[in-house]
Structure 1
Amino acid sequence: MGAVAALAVAGGGITAAVASSDGSSGTPSPATESADAGFARDMATHHQQAVEMSYIVRDRTKDEEIRRLAYDIAQTQANQRGMLLGWLDLWELPKVPEGAPMEWMGMGDMPPGKDGALMPGMATNAELTKLRKLDGRAAEVRYLQLMVKHHKGGIHMAEGCVDRCEVKVERRLAQGMVDSQESEIELMTDLLKARGAKR
Structure 2
Amino acid sequence: MRRRHAGWIAGSAAAALVAAGAITYAVAGETGGADTSTPDTRTQDTRTPGAESADAGFARDMAVHHQQAVEMSFIVRDRTKDEEVRRLAYDIAQTQANQRGMLLGWLDLWGLPKVSADPPMTWMGMRGMASGKDGALMPGMATNTELKELQSLSGKRAEILYLQLMTDHHKGGVHMAEGCVAKCTVDVEKRLAQGMVDAQRSEIELMAGMLKERGARPRS
1:118 to 2:158 alignment: no
Cα deviation per residue 1:73-97 (whole Å; 9 max; x = unaligned)?
A: 0000000000000000000100012
**Which residue of the other structure, out of 78, 82, 101, is the alignment partner of 1:59?**
78
Unpaired runs of 5+ in structure 1? 1-6, 10-14
Q: Distance in 2 between matches of 1:111 and 1:89?
A: 26
Which residue in 2 is equivalent to 1:150?
A: 169
Which residue in 1 is equivalent to 2:148?
A: 129
**Which residue of the other structure, out of 55, 80, 100, is the alignment partner of 2:99?**
80
Q: Distance in 1 between matches of 2:73 and 2:130?
A: 27
Q: Which has the higher helix share?
A: 2
Task: Call closer, same or farther: CA 1:175–1:95 in 2, change over 3 Å.
Answer: same
Superposed displacement of residue 113, structure 1: 2.2
TM-score between both structures, scaled by the size of structure 1: 0.90
**Which residue of the other structure, out of 17, 27, 31, is the alignment partner of 1:19?**
27
Q: Distance in 2 between matches of 1:79 and 1:123?
A: 21
Contact between 1:18 and 1:87, CA under 8 Å: does it hold in 2? no
TM-score between both structures, scaled by the size of structure 2: 0.82
Q: Distance in 1 between matches of 2:116 and 2:26?
A: 22
1:188 to 2:199 alignment: no
Superposed displacement of residue 8, structure 1: 4.8
Q: Distance in 1 between matches of 2:18 and 2:30?
A: 16
The number of residues matched between the two structures is: 187
Superposed displacement of residue 109, structure 1: 2.7
Cα deviation per residue 1:148-199 (whole Å; 9 max; x = unaligned)?
A: 0000000000000000000000000000000000000000000000000010
Task: Call closer, same or farther: CA 1:111–1:153 in 2, change over 3 Å.
Answer: closer
Q: Distance in 1 between matches of 2:169 and 2:151?
A: 17
Cα deviation per residue 1:43-65 (whole Å; 9 max; x = unaligned)?
A: 00000000000000011000000
| Structure number, greater radius of gyration | 2
Superposed displacement of residue 24, structure 1: 2.1
Cα deviation per residue 1:11-65 (whole Å; 9 max; x = unaligned)?
A: xxxx562328x81264131000000000000000000000000000011000000
Q: Which has the higher strand share?
A: 1
What is the identity, as a one-letter code, of the residue corresponding to 2:131? Answer: P
The alignment-based identity, stated in percent, is 70
Q: Distance in 2 between matches of 1:126 and 1:109?
A: 21
Q: Distance in 2 between matches of 1:144 and 1:163?
A: 28
RMSD: 1.5
